[in-house]
């Protein structure tokens, strides 16, 4: 089903990244590296990075894959993208420092990362549905595993070679816009309408018992 989608070659060029539109569904082909919380914390707090040429591998896949070793070879059983939004504290610094053009993960990221992506010329690609098994089959080769002993298989950094990996959709473009912005604004408004319909006024507040700034009831 991904055959009809635009396939992005990795490493992603700035020009290609800047040409991507919010909501566009894509696949990617080439090399990517993985990481989660420990990657971000160690990169920024401890200045520890895996020995990767980030100009050649500029796609960061937020994932903790389920890995299995068969006859000395690493295999990916399943790799469900993890929630990128958790990495917002260090995300902008990591994007700037490594000049990342593609972040792949679940959910989205915040305004700090949006700004960094706009500066670098990069995008965030969000997963579509539960896709860990299909994605695992699109990994042609596990090139390397870094910090596997130290961090365990889930938080380790793996280098995957992938082909028509996806589908993903562009939730953050290279102009700093986010697919979920309008959607969430509308959802908040609809929630207020629904609460009103159920007899909860817009200015309703829970009883406050915390002293300073305590609202009168």
Partner 1 sequence: MIERKTIESAMYEAVKLAATRMPPDVLAALRRALDEETDPLARRHLEVSLDNAASAERGEGLVCADTGFPLFFVTAGAGTQLEGGFGSLWPAARAATARATAEAFLRPTMVDPLSRANPGDNVGPGMPKVELRFDGQGAGLEIVACPKGGGSEIFGTFYRMLFPSDGEAGILKFALDSIREGCYAGKICPPAIVGVGVGGTADLCMKLAKEAALLRPVGSVNPHPAAAALEAKLFAACRALGVGPMGARGVNAVMAVHVATAVTHTAALPVAVNAQCMVGRRWKAVVSADNLVRYSGDFQ
Kindly list the residues in this chain that would bind partner 1 in the complex (CB under 8 A): 1, 23, 25, 38, 64-68, 77-80, 82-83, 85-86, 106-108, 126-134, 136-137, 151-155, 167, 169, 171, 180, 183-184, 186-188, 190-191, 193-195, 197-200, 204, 206-207, 209, 217
Smallest separation (angstroms) from partner 1 to the CB of 72: 16
Compute the least distance from the CB of residue 84 to partner 1, in Å. Answer: 9
- Closer residue to partner 1 in complex, CB, 111/133: 133
Burial 5-34 (b: 16+ CB within 10 A, else e): beebebbbeeebbeebebebebbbbbbbbb
Do 143 and 31 contact (CB within 8 A), yes or no? yes
Closer of 47 and 207 to partner 1 (Cβ): 207
Question: Smallest distance, Å, CB 180 to partner 1?
Answer: 5
* Other C-beta atoms lying within 10 Å of the C-beta of residue 106: 18
**Dihedral angle over CA of 59, 61, 66, 68, nearest 10:** 10
Q: Residue 11 or residue 87: which is nearer to partner 1 going by CB?
A: 87
Residue 56 CB, shortest distance to partner 1, in Å, is 27
Q: What CA–CA distance (Å, rounded) separates 145 from 56?
A: 17
CA distance 168 to 174: 16
Nearer to partner 1, 47 or 198 (CB): 198
């Amino acid at each position: 089903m991904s055959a009809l989608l635009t396939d992005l070659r990795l490493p992603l060029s700035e020009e290609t990244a800047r040409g991507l539109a919010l909501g566009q569904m894509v696949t990617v082909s080439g090399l990517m590296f993985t990481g989660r919380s420990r990657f971000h914390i160690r990169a920024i707090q401890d200045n520890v990075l895996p020995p990767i040429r980030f100009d050649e591998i500029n796609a960061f896949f937020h994932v903790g894959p389920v890995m299995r070793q068969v006859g000395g070879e690493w295999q990916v059983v399943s790799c469900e993208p993890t929630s990128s939004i958790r990495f917002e504290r260090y995300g902008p610094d990591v994007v700037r420092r490594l000049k990342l053009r593609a972040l792949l993960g679940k959910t989205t990221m915040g305004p700090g990362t949006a700004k960094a992506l706009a500066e670098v010329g990069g995008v965030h690609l969000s997963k579509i549905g539960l896709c860990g098994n299909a994605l695992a089959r699109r990994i042609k080769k596990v090139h390397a595993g870094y910090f596997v002993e130290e961090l365990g298989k889930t938080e380790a950094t793996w280098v995957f070679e992938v082909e028509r990996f996806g589908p993903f959709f562009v939730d953050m473009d290279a102009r700093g816009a986010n697919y979920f912005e309008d959607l969430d604004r509308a959802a908040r408004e609809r929630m207020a309408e629904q609460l009103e319909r159920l007899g909860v006024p817009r200015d309703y507040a829970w009883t406050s018992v915390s002293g300073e700034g305590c609202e009168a009831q």
